[in-house]
Each structure stands twice: as structure tokens, then as C-alpha cells.
Amino acid sequence: MTAPSRVRGDGALAWQVLRQVDDYVEAWDGHAAATAACALEPGPFPILVQSECDIGAARFELLAWEDPSGPGPPFWRQEWMPEALLNPDAPPLAAIPDEGGTVDGLRLLSGDLVVRIGCGGASVQVRVRDAPRFPDDGGLSVMLDFGLRMSRTMRRMIDFWSAAGLSGPRSGWDREGMSARIV
């Protein structure tokens, strides 16, 4: 199997492999045949609503089913995700697509919201606990535990990748100049 040239990072590579695993494709086919279209929550970017049938995707380390014929990436189940809070003073996340990135969300059954921010084939997820409806002009404050009860302010996409423990997407774009719209 030859991975496409746009694959970047462990999550992107994992998705390339998972979408070719027969067990996953068969499980997806069964899920797709048994369920209606995914519900969307109103918001400034696409927000899928997790359903009871999505719980079965956990055996593949996913928070929700993702069509293996689609570009992905899926919402990965992770032991740890950076925590975020809605922040009305932060630049709006809805502007990220204007800067060449992507943003979408998954409303979990628990009421938490997982926000995924991507660039190229790489993405990073943050969790907003007990999140209300995401405001059209909403931004996030991402909180990281450094053992000192301090948070780090991030304004550039490269800061966000770094905080998530990733080196960031590698492309012809100016990585330092791309604003993440996160404070």
C-alpha cells in the first residue's frame, strides 16, 4: 500500500490504514445501512451530534463513525485532549477556513464538544466540557496543565500543534504566519 503524498502525522496515517481494514469497512457498511443521516447541530461550523450507534465505533478508537470512502480524518478517541473554554474575546473559529484550515465539531452524548482544527492532512482535537451551543462569533481559550496551574495563550496555528505535541503540518504554506484564531 502506498500512502498518498498528503498524509501527514500519525492520525492521518492511521486513518489511511483504518479505512482499508476489512473489519472497519464492513462495520461501517452495517452502520450506514442501519442509520439515517447524521444529525447536525446549528453553529458557525459543521457540528455532528454523536448518537448511541456511534458508541460501536470505539472498538476502532473513534468517537463516531466516519465513511471510509471520505477524506476524513475521523474524530479519534483519545486518552487526553487539551481542554478548552468558550471565550467571547477570542478571535472566532469560523474564520479558520478563510485562512486555509478546517474546523468542525462533534457533540458527545455527555454534552461535551470536541472541536477539531485541521490543516492539510493533519488535525488536532480539543474538548469543551458541558459546552452550550457554540456562538457564531465564538473563540476558544485552550488550557494546558503544566503542573503550575498556568495556561498558554495561542494565536498561531503552529502554537496549537506544538501544544498538542505535534510538529505541525509540513507544506509550502508559511506555518508561522497562519493564525489559529485561538486565544
Residue 128 in domain: yes
- 3-state DSSP call for residue 159? helix
Residue 176 in domain: no
Inform me whether the pLDDT recorded for 161 exceeds 70.
no
Residue 168 in domain: no
Q: Which three cell numbers stand for residue 41?
A: 447541530
Domain count, the chain: 1
- Going from the C-alpha of 159 to that of each of 119, 142, 152, 156, 166, the distances in angstroms are 13, 11, 9, 5, 10
Residue 172 in domain: no
pLDDT at 180: 40
pLDDT (average), residues 133-152:
73
Inform me whether the pLDDT recorded for 176 exceeds 80.
no
Residue 137, C-beta contacts closer than 8 angstroms, at least 6 positions apart? 44, 88, 92, 94
pTM over cut 0.85: no
H helix intervals, 56-171: 157-163
Q: Which three cell numbers stand for residue 38?
A: 447524521
pLDDT digits (tens, 9 = 90+) for 23-32: 999 999 888 7
- Where does the pLDDT of residue 79 fall: very low under 50, low under 70, confident under 90, or very high at 90 and above? confident
pLDDT at 125: 92
Inform me whether the pLDDT recorded for 49 exceeds 50.
yes
The whole-angstrom separation of Cα 113 and Cα 128 is 5
Q: Give residue 126's identity as a one-letter amino acid code.
A: V
* Residue 65 lies in domain: 9-163
